[in-house]
Amino acid sequence: MNRQNVEVVKAVDEQNQVQEQEQNEEQVKQPPQIRMKRFNFIILLVVLVFLSVGITAFALSFGKEPHPVVIGGKSEREEFNKLYKAYDILKEGYFEDLDEGKVINGAINGMIQSLDDPYSAYMDEEAAKQFHHSVSSSFEGIGAEIQEKDGHIVIVSPLKGSPAEKAGLKPKDLVLMVDGKSIQGMSSTEAVMLIRGEKGTKVELTIQRPGVEGTIKVPIIRDEIPIETVHGEMLEDGIAKVQITTFSTNTSKELVETLNGLQKKGMKGLVLDLRQNPGGLLEQAVAISSMFVPEGKILFKVEDRNGNVKEYKSENEGNPEFPLVVLIDSGSASASEILAGAVKESANVPLVGQKSFGKGTVQTAQDFPDGSNVKFTTAKWLTPKGNWIHKKGIQPDYKVDLPDYVNLPYLDPKLELKLGSSSNEVKTAQQMLAALGFNPGRTDGFYDEQTVKKVKEFQAANKLPETGAITGDTTQKIIEKLQEKIIKDDPQLEKAVEVLKKEMK
């Protein structure tokens, strides 16, 4: 919700990215119990003066001693003399001509990296262009949010229905290589540029999954990722489920439209699903939180580096008349956590699922005249009760884990697994078959006659050639059926419905 630079190059917590045209758009008509006010949200913007001064300094004449900046007749910023001198030395003495723009970008990027903050980043003109574009439109890529952590690129969360989700990427997967190229030590911005690409093109990620031996190669076909962020459906007994996949420009409007539609279908209670939601625009988290938190109650607090704390309160004119339960997991981050913390502590809404990601800082972004951009952390955010959840996450009221098969590694359809094979891939395939009801009797990675028998049974049940080997279409069908089972058999959602029914009595 950082969180970090992202594969989708999403503006995570960048309030200043909300387009001004949104202020003039017609508001969605809402029933009395689902009303929102337009928020005049005060953006905490910290201007990094040293960056603008540094860029100006790079334009000084070459071959001369660097000059300190003079303001009002007084020498200032003398700490930059060493930087100017280093530039002059390279310009005069390096054995090849300098790429001046590259050197300047590198210097700025070095400043940001020295902060040791995975949520601060420098983006060149091209990366910044994609950053702005993807806040409120579709984009092409794999649909996963990433962050840089301890020199590694980590998957925060794949987006719902994205190629990344279909390929089996999970939160906390470490991305080691992209198309065979190591990305160790790269910034998230650099990794994004390698992972993104045109629809229909292929990218192969080599990942390391916690708790799984060895590495896994995951081929993914890039696609267009639409920014449709709200998905609603009726379940049973007047209970509706609404999933918010990310907080984009129009998410609050999408949510209002969805809730209005569900009310017409007889909604009496709501499960709000924030699982695998990596965050997004803070302004949207504020608007949506206010829909479920009573007017005047605290949504969250912001603490600056001097310890000054500002409270942000709900501006809701009326509370929904239906009870609410919220689902969270380890992929719920940033703006998702703001919403979860707000409803939990200020509206007594129960949380179900797993501990959230733990991203408790706020970022803003500032453009340079050439179109490049710097994103940096401006403050901490705290829950209504003053808790800082950074690196700790929010604990659910009802902890519910998912079945082990949900975290099984990706199985490459190009591999051929057959009688006599012995490998980790065979072990994965056996575990998948067992989860689907075709238990081979062993999951130790050895492909025996019993495994052949169960594979043939699976193939017959799915109208596939009964070869007894796992490859190609058989592998694809196993993956497809497992994904269907994961969606259908959802113990976290079942628990949320159980809790909600008690709330509805």
Catalytically active residues, by annotation = 334, 345, 359
| Residue whose token pair is 């001046």 | 100
Query: Residue 340 and residue 333: Cα distance in Å, rounded?
Result: 10
Which whole-number Å values give the CA distances from 462 to 86, 308, 456, 466, 485, in the listed order? Answer: 67, 62, 10, 10, 15
How crowded is residue 436: how many other Cβ atoms within 10 Å of its Cβ? Answer: 19
Rounded Cα distance, 243 and 327, in Å: 9
The helix/strand/coil state of 243 is strand
Q: Return the beta strands (E) in 223-278 as ranges.
A: 223-225, 230-234, 239-244, 269-273
Q: Which residues are paired to 218 by β-bridges?
A: 205
Q: What is the DSSP string of 201-236?
A: -EEEEEEE-TTSSS-EEEEEE-EEE----EEEEE-S
Structure-token match 């997967």, residue found: 173
CA angle 3/305/150 to nearest 5° reads: 40
Beta bridge partners of 422: 446
Strand 223-225 versus strand 139-141 pairing type: antiparallel
Spell out the alpha helix ranges (H) of 77-220: 81-93, 100-113, 125-133, 163-166, 188-195
Kindly report the number of other CB atoms within 10 A of residue 391's CB atom.
Answer: 9
Tell which residue, 357, 378, 382, has the closest CA to residue 16: 378
Instruction: For residues 316 and 36, give the distance between their C-alpha atoms in angstroms, rounded to a whole number.
Output: 6
Query: Looking at the DSSP assignment, which residues form a beta bridge with residue 328?
Result: 353
